[in-house]
Structure 1
């Protein structure tokens, strides 16, 4: 920038014009040079924002699972050759080129695994037994990798640090069992009907197990001792029929056969609480201070959990996807999401088209991803309270299959490899 020198202002005779100062030869060029030098200096002083990304070793066909305590990789099923389950430490805040492997343990060559997580100093892996087709839980020591035990069923965390295994089979020979977590020793077992089991949780741990028998008898068992606590007959006369059961907070919900009503009993004494008009109920979940029921056809209906009175109802086609405090995330066709008020059902915001990311922790904010035509993946936070989305990053060369444990995101790349990204918050 050129500097124009005005000189000193004086009172001069009108007949004599003020003397014009001489032009500063070369000053504009020197000023531009100084400006360019300043810009270059500032650019060099400004740190370059580098995405913290870490590769996770995954062979073709392998499955990676993000947990709070590490990353677990399960090799693909193969008729020949070795197969392993490997555990890797999560990288630090600055990332790194490759994660450090903690240990790996041999697996059966065949069989699909559906989920893996850490619990009570163990890695619990749920997979399909190839011979029987039954889901099994295998426990490994979280520090050293030795296999501790394997039992039919899916592990459920019980009170007092115990563990339940729910083995729900279509042939009607299922069981719910309690095992000693460290050794897998069987403590007790109860036969259960297919599709007729519910769990009451206290602080996220199962303390009561509810069964509905084909005869209509609803039984409540203590999850610690296996003792029968209460029993109620819900079908009059000598009848036998399939009934679905679900436990939501202290309510046991039943849909009687051929009925358009939802019947609620209240734990622990199984006292009949109310009957509410509700047809084709698929499942129910607490929403704000109400009970949201979702129909098999996708509609939503909210009920007062104290009285069974219907607060509002929408026959669809939107279906409930998630609940955060007093906001509902609903999905329409083509993966388009919207936000509704839980107490009134009124629409609050349109969030657009996204694919939801699997969350390791329930309390983390919802994330959505969306591919771009040039092979990148847009990652956004879906804020239901504010009713808006916030773009966190646009990742190159990522195909999807993402899992999140804030602020870490695990995704599959276009070349088949897997990597971790640390998202800005």
Structure 2
């Protein structure tokens, strides 16, 4: 068995090289001093050794951590030596080894860039380009227990509750097909009108499909049943060529670039609810009960979804994607990976805490921990759980020989090691 020695946390980790984080305000300086003091006290005590394992992998491999399991996609070189997909079980005992449950070959071209690997129900979905010239994407549904391919089809799937959605352009006609993930059989299909197609999502995937025709009516479809819900003519003061659309929560948003106007329509009925001036944003995202517009050059503007009114704005931040208990993470603007993180109060935009510089591990569960990492010197990586709701960072471990590319779920933390393999740790809660 290969065991990674986690060592002892004896000193506070140095900040990665780069510009110093901004100081937001005098009331926070005392909190920062206290936080550093607590970090130093934590560093003085030895950290208990954690269960640590290594999953062997050649350079260039992709990995997915999901619900305590590891799925590994190894690249292929030639048709005679195709890529391989394998499933690994991570033991609960430190004295055991990770067990490879199955391994199957995969098409060579699927491992060449832009490949996706994810779990849905009882299948593992591998999606990628199957040709080097035509750009066709194809999805392969592997049985989670055996690895055998149950079905395959052209396209890239989206989750929609228990089922999957595929966009199909066969015979020059676009359709959206609902697919049973276990069998690959179509449940229903919806014809796609020429124009913009948007997807409204909830926690378990797409729930509504929105089609906006240039100069024509918009349509809303139920993505779980394939049922037409609403149609309506949109009046947003822009032309089809310079109007962008987005869906956030229960609103369809139209951004007229020529006039700098943002119009909000309710998805239930496509009724026009408000119109406000707004410089062209990069994207919209739901943040608590508000809508946050991220600017093209950074900066966040929070809007009231009922009126479009700007509730607060701050040009110092860009959103980092984690929200808990009415608070969310944001990072300072700048280049590179390492930026100072802050916790914002969603309702007011007020800075609740500064968390210093962290890089976030990808989270594969909506309720899993928010894990931050940063170099600790001597090839080590400091690991902390970022408690967004409590607005504080809790140091959990120091891991050796970690290069980055980390993922986490409710049970485990997985990171790429310096030699290309993957280390897996059980992070205490």
Deviation digits for residues 156-197 of structure 1 (CA, Å, limit 9, x no counterpart): 2224x32212479xxx98653212322222331533667x33
Q: Is 1:137 matched with 2:139?
A: yes
The equivalent of 1:30 in structure 2 is none
Q: TM-score with structure 1 length normalisation?
A: 0.80
Which of 150, 153, 157 matches 2:152?
150
Comparing both chains, which one has the higher relative contact order based on Cα–Cα distances under 8 Å and sequence gaps of 6 or more?
2
The equivalent of 2:424 in structure 1 is 420
Partner SS for 2:182: coil
Which of 380, 389, 395 matches 1:391?
395
Q: Is 1:292 matched with 2:292?
A: yes
Deviation at 1:225, TM superposition (A): 4.3
Deviation digits for residues 361-407 of structure 1 (CA, Å, limit 9, x no counterpart): 12223111111331001111112222221111000111111100133
Partner SS for 1:329: strand
The equivalent of 2:189 in structure 1 is 188
In the alignment, the residues of structure 2 paired with residue 216 and residue 295 of structure 1 have an alpha-carbon distance, to the nearest angstrom, of 29
Change (3 A) 1:295 1:216: farther
Deviation at 1:75, TM superposition (A): 0.9
Deviation digits for residues 222-268 of structure 1 (CA, Å, limit 9, x no counterpart): 22443433222325899542533222221111212423122111122
Deviation at 1:317, TM superposition (A): 3.9
Work out whether residues 325 and 388 of structure 2, in 8 Å CA contact, stay in contact via their aligned partners in 1. no
Partner SS for 1:385: coil
Q: Is 1:124 matched with 2:131?
A: no
**Higher alpha-carbon deviation: 256-265 or 302-311:** 256-265
Partner SS for 1:354: strand
Deviation at 1:277, TM superposition (A): 2.3
In the alignment, the residues of structure 1 paired with residue 391 and residue 355 of structure 2 have an alpha-carbon distance, to the nearest angstrom, of 7
Q: Is 1:115 matched with 2:116?
A: yes
Deviation at 1:97, TM superposition (A): 5.1
Q: Of the two, which has the highest radius of gyration?
A: 1
Q: How many residues align?
A: 372
Deviation at 1:122, TM superposition (A): 0.7
The equivalent of 1:35 in structure 2 is none
Change (3 A) 1:192 1:375: farther
Partner SS for 1:66: strand
Change (3 A) 1:236 1:339: closer
Work out whether residues 212 and 243 of structure 1, in 8 Å CA contact, stay in contact via their aligned partners in 2. no
In the alignment, the residues of structure 1 paired with residue 320 and residue 354 of structure 2 have an alpha-carbon distance, to the nearest angstrom, of 14
The equivalent of 1:379 in structure 2 is 383
List 4+ stretches of structure 1 deviating above 4 A.
172-175, 235-239
Work out whether residues 76 and 82 of structure 2, in 8 Å CA contact, stay in contact via their aligned partners in 1. no
Q: Which ranges in structure 2 are unaligned for 5 or more consecutive residues?
A: 1-45
